[in-house]
Chains A and B, each alone.
Chain A
């Protein structure tokens, strides 16, 4: 009896105060304007970036599914993998693998070597700078793109988050066994999503990037695995040309 009265009472309150309801509800029910930037989502990126910058020595691996769009709009998928051994700020070894090519990039803080094991060809460029600087230089000067390069730029001035037009929290989701916070962003020519592990170590476990420059919207999906206590040796950062390898010229990017 008491129970029923209580229920009726609650019902009455709910029905009786529509205006009060409308005033308190918007936080949960109202629709934010399209393109709104949720500051909490930006903060999550900043926290992740700051945490990434604290990592000194780690191994990170990725499995990527990419797409290409044919002339008539049909999409094809392909896959590639990359393994990176990293010691900030000056040392890195990256192995990139696909059915079409296998490549290595080794940087010891003084020289960066690009090696293709199948042909046993290598090229070297002298460079002294951080990994982040190396990434920019390789991209601008040689058109060499780098796997997971965002990971080295997040949390630095090279990746300001002020160009993001829309940011939202999508909710939580699992990547593998890890519970992650899922965020979605829009900026310039790409939409992108990141899954960041919950808890004290905010690491990106998955990144999806949608290219909006083509109406077919080709998308890349990168699953990311972390090892924060890697067992590699310092020697992995030193490139020594294997027997029988020959050095070839690397040609700077030509502009047309």
Chain B
């Protein structure tokens, strides 16, 4: 969005370095993938327990909550470099952001039959899952969905 060129250049160079996505070089070693050795600290429930079994249901959420103009940030070092724009994104906790971001920017209204912010139980079969910004999306033609609990919320295209 508002990133300066000074910052883009190293980012593109980094792109070269990181360019290829490795085919997973995993041997069948270790029982990774599972939960790593129990939870810690104040919220020990992270390793499992009641919370995991409770399904989140956001179908009654007021759509006004999608109209987010800004968020808190979670890292001080985010502005260690003056070229980094703090507004660009909030923090690792902003997992609802994409709905909001486009709304706040007033981006072109996506040509889609699905209303941004609306919840659906399932996505069409032609969707392609993709990770963008650390979040998983389902891209179905021009419509994008983000998983939320057991449902999906229609979001503006993240890119």
Answer yes or no: are A and B bound together in one complex. Answer: yes
The residue in chain A whose Cβ has the minimal distance to the Cβ of B107 is A256
A70-B68 in contact (CB<8A)? yes
What is the 8 Å Cβ interface bit string for chain B, positions 15-37, against chain A (1 contact, 0 not)?
10110111011101111111111
CB-CB under 8 A for A140 and B32, given A69-B68, A83-B39, A213-B87: no
The residue in chain A whose Cβ has the minimal distance to the Cβ of B64 is A70
CB-CB under 8 A for A241 and B73, given A66-B94, A126-B18, A223-B42: no
B29-A190 in contact (CB<8A)? no
Is A101 engaged at the interface, CB distance under 8 Å to the other chain? yes
The residue in chain A whose Cβ has the minimal distance to the Cβ of B11 is A140
The residue in chain A whose Cβ has the minimal distance to the Cβ of B93 is A80
Partner of A235, one of B31, B40, B64, B149: B31
What is the 8 Å Cβ interface bit string for chain B, positions 29-71, against chain A (1 contact, 0 not)?
1111111111111110010000000001010000011011111
Is A254 engaged at the interface, CB distance under 8 Å to the other chain? yes
A242 to B33, CA, bound (A): 5
Partner of A240, one of B1, B28, B46, B129: B28
Contacts of B41 in A (CB 8 A): 59-63, 83, 225-227
Interface contact tally, CB-CB below 8 A: 285
A137-B159 in contact (CB<8A)? no
Contacts of A21 in B (CB 8 A): none
Among listed A9-17, A34-42, A152-160, interface-contacting one: A152-160
The residue in chain A whose Cβ has the minimal distance to the Cβ of B29 is A238
Is B113 engaged at the interface, CB distance under 8 Å to the other chain? no
Contacts of B133 in A (CB 8 A): 142-144, 253
Among listed A25-33, A195-203, A243-251, interface-contacting one: A243-251
What is the 8 Å Cβ interface bit string for chain A, positions 207-250, against chain B (1 contact, 0 not)?
10111011010111011011100111101111111100111111
Interface residue tally of chain A, by bracket? 35 or more
The residue in chain A whose Cβ has the minimal distance to the Cβ of B87 is A213
CB-CB under 8 A for A95 and B46, given A150-B77, A239-B26, A242-B33: yes
B58-104 residues with Cβ-Cβ distance < 8 A to A are 58, 64-65, 67-80, 82, 86-87, 89-96, 100, 104
CB-CB under 8 A for A142 and B134, given A63-B42, A68-B90: yes
Chain B interface main SS type: loop
Interface residue tally of chain B, by bracket? 35 or more
Partner of A141, one of B14, B25, B42, B90: B14
Give 15 CB contacts A-B under 8 Å: A83-B41, A85-B37, A103-B95, A106-B32, A121-B136, A127-B18, A140-B10, A159-B77, A216-B70, A220-B93, A222-B74, A226-B41, A227-B40, A240-B29, A256-B1
Q: Which residues of A contact B (CB under 8 A)?
A: 59-64, 66-71, 76, 78, 80-83, 85, 93, 95-101, 103, 106, 110-111, 113-116, 118-119, 121-127, 137-138, 140-147, 149-150, 153-154, 158-160, 163, 185, 187-190, 192, 207, 209-211, 213-214, 216, 218-220, 222-223, 225-227, 230-233, 235-242, 245-256
Not counting A114-B131, A119-B136, A185-B76, a sample of 7 additional A-B residue pairs whose C-beta atoms are within 8 angstroms of each other reads A61-B41, A66-B90, A68-B90, A96-B93, A119-B147, A145-B134, A207-B76
